Amino acid sequence: MSNLRVYTRRTALLVGACLALAPLAPTPSQAAARIQHLVSPGGIEAWFVQDSTVPVIAMEYAFGGGATQDPAGKTGVASLVSDLLDEGSGDLDSKTFHERLDRRAIDLSFSATRDYFRGSLRMLKDTSDEAFDLLRMSLTSPHFDSADVERIRSQVISSLQSDTTNPSALAGRKFLQMAFGDHPYGRPADGTLESVPSITIADLKDYTRRVLAKDTLKVAVVGDIDAGKLGQLLDRTFGSLPAKAQLTPVPDVAAAKPPQRAFIPLDVPQTVVTFGGPGIRRHDPDFMAAYIVNHILGGGGLSSRLYHEVREKRGLAYSVYESLVWMEHSAIFVGNTGTRADRAGDTVEAINQEVRRIAEEGPTQKELDEAKSYLKGSQMLALDTSSKLASAMLQYQLDGMPIDYIEKRNAIVDAVTLDDAKAAARRLWGQGLLTVVVGRAPQATAEPAAMTPPPPKAN
């Protein structure tokens, strides 16, 4: 997982019904061999896979900036912009714009993550000219009409009000605040009940002017289109954007040092526990080892240690998971579970025990071998549609990976040794956890339980 999308209000994963027949993508090695580094006549760069299996085109793209570029005191600007770009542009009002999309089975959406402003476009081959034209209008001449702004703003405020009684939303926000404090990563990307009402149309226009620019643009396209035609469409769509973004610099930040705990009282049937801590950044030499050992601890679904200890062995929760989250300026790991109020303390302790055990002992060779096998095999399924492949190609660009990374990935996985995995486990979990408990749990669960770090071991 990259960027902390789980805490944004809107995603770019909506797919039109007609696109359910998106073509099967090549296997990873085949896909990597076919990825072209396309440069349009106007200088727009894209990673591109031509696939004529069915007449469908999928494009994913991103501009640098995201929610970190929200003005001080006005968190939620990027998110509100993402909700409004398709609410009328050019000579089309909101109703007519959406009728055009629906009539031609074009799926167009936007989302704001912490580091990027992202977009997604899906279309049939025969509607590519119109689809790219509608996207161009959205990016270059959005209306931000007062009536549309107030309608969308009211929806956002309603969602934020609902979040005040949502234990998962409260836990997620508190965790980020605990981890990052006053850094932009500590702010809620979708805004607050105080900030969203203060956002003006001028703020929305200023954000698009500063952020939507060609120098930070990354593009990935998969589908039934040739390079020449795609180059023309990219120039027509993005060519008139500003050459350079005007971004506010964002400093690197390390997540807060564990252990720390917070308790938020809320009268709800199920208590939510969110836990995590400092992670390992994408270009760190230990990243792949951390990725694999995290799968063993909490990312492997029914096969993970946390699932076995918390769900199967103790029956404390229905599900429990954990993920690595890497961003442009930091990295964390974060997990979540829900349990009965009277068992929240036991659940937190069971998670802490398992985290302590893997930090001290690391995984077994059998666990490491099985995790490697799963992660290599699952990569094939992760690239089995044009949309998934385009998303992966974009993410690899944002992560700064080489264009043949898909082809190299399995060898990188295989190169991780048991000593590498043990060292990564000590580094990730040796200090304990940042923990947030939301619900009717006893106040005692909010008291920090210090975890003594294990002694350093030779690598």
The pLDDT assigned to 384 comes to 83
Together in a domain, 292 and 382: yes
In a domain, 379, yes or no: yes
Structure token pair of residue 415: 């190169």
Domain boundary among 207, 238, 269: 238
More confident: 195 or 31: 195
Structure token pair of residue 431: 């200090």
25, pLDDT greater than 50 = no
What predicted TM-score, i.e. pTM, was given to this entire model? 0.87
Residues of the domain holding 164: 5-238
The pLDDT assigned to 312 comes to 85
d(CA 171, CA 251): 25
Asked if 117 and 211 count as a contact pair (C-beta separation under 8 A), the reply is yes
More confident: 448 or 16: 448
The pLDDT assigned to 229 comes to 98
DSSP string for residues in 51-63 = --SSSEEEEEEEE
For range 58-87, the mean pLDDT: 96
55, pLDDT greater than 60 = yes
Together in a domain, 160 and 232: yes
Mean pLDDT of the chain: 89
Q: DSSP 3-state assignment of 128?
A: helix
116-143 pLDDT, tens digit per residue, is 999 999 999 999 999 999 999 999 999 9
In a domain, 37, yes or no: yes
For range 139-158, the mean pLDDT: 97
The pLDDT assigned to 378 comes to 87
Together in a domain, 216 and 335: no
Instruction: Give strand pairing partners of 223.
Output: 50, 57
Together in a domain, 36 and 79: yes
Q: How confident is the model at residue 442 (pLDDT cuts 50, 70, 90)?
A: low
263, pLDDT greater than 70 = yes
The pLDDT assigned to 300 comes to 74
In a domain, 105, yes or no: yes
Q: 125: domain CATH number? A: 3.30.830.10
For range 393-422, the mean pLDDT: 96
- Helix ranges (H only) for 21-122 are 28-34, 77-84, 94-103
Q: Which of 147, 194, 172 is nearest to 9 (CA)?
A: 172
Strand 56-64, strand 107-112: pairing: unpaired
12, pLDDT greater than 50 = no
d(CA 20, CA 229): 24
Together in a domain, 26 and 71: yes
Together in a domain, 232 and 267: no
Tally of domains within the chain: 2
CB atoms within 10 A of CB 454: 15
Inter-axis angle of helices 227-238 and 128-140, nearest 10: 20
Together in a domain, 283 and 373: yes
In a domain, 149, yes or no: yes
